[in-house]
Chain A
Amino acid sequence: DQQVKQNSPSLSVQEGRISILNCDYTNSMFDYFLWYKKYPAEGPTFLISISSIKDKNEDGRFTVFLNKSAKHLSLHIVPSQPGDSAVYFCAASPGNQFYFGTGTSLTVIP
């Protein structure tokens, strides 16, 4: 039972353009959402989070948008850089654990 879904396994974007990664969830008890970035052979690295009381959170080139009615969140990276190439995981929490999506592999083409 996949409660957090990332339906795009991969995404390719030109350097300098916007990358948009999407995530859908099913559990209305989730109140905290996070994005992690993962390089091969490393643990996930925290990128940005958003609480359910907000609909947008920005940190530099990264912005996370939350649409609670649609149970959808997205991560925008602008401008995209080659160093952003990695697997991005969406995660959601009802307070006691994190549920992860299956990841989207982002490739930023120089």
Chain B
Amino acid sequence: DTGVSQDPRHKITKRGQNVTFRCDPISEHNRLYWYRQTLGQGPEFLTYFQNEAQLEKSRLLSDRFSAERPKGSFSTLEIQRTEQGDSAMYLCASQGDATSGFFGPGTRLTVL
């Protein structure tokens, strides 16, 4: 399967804990995006990488959120001191130079 993969698919955590999600993009894609989707809403942009460089961050991405893409391959999204409002589906998408964005299956986070 050469699509975008995300791990884990589901994460349940207690408020105040740290969580980390991983995204493996399509290998030849140089752009990688993180989005968050809550019930009844469309995906909301969080951050964007061009290779290993993080080029843009949304206002939604508070100081508790950090994303990395070492070596321009896989990416991680970490949320520190989780809050109940962080409960959402976290989506990763990758894009090549002349292609549309391809999304992974998402990681559903539940903060108790």
Which residues of A are at the interface with B, using a C-beta cutoff of 8 A? 4, 6, 34, 36, 41-46, 49, 89, 91, 96-103
Contacts and interface: CB of A to CB of B under 8 A. Distances in A.
Top 10 A-B pairs, shortest CB-CB distance? A100-B42, A43-B103, A97-B45, A43-B106, A43-B105, A44-B103, A46-B100, A100-B43, A49-B100, A102-B42
Contacts of B6: 43
Given A42-B105, A43-B105, A45-B103, A102 B43 contact: no
Range, interface on chain B: 20 to 34
Interface of B: 4, 6, 33, 35, 40-45, 48, 55-56, 91, 93, 100-106, 108
26 contacts: A6-B42, A34-B101, A36-B103, A41-B108, A43-B4, A43-B6, A43-B91, A43-B93, A43-B104, A43-B105, A43-B106, A44-B43, A46-B103, A89-B42, A91-B101, A96-B48, A96-B55, A96-B56, A97-B48, A97-B56, A98-B35, A98-B93, A100-B42, A100-B43, A102-B40, A103-B41
A44 B101 CA distance: 10
Most B-side CB within 10 Å, residue of A6, A43, A96, A103: A43
A49 B101 CA distance: 10
Contacts of B105: 42-43
Contacts of B33: 97-98
A91 B42 CA distance: 9
Contacts of A36: 103
A102 B43 CA distance: 8
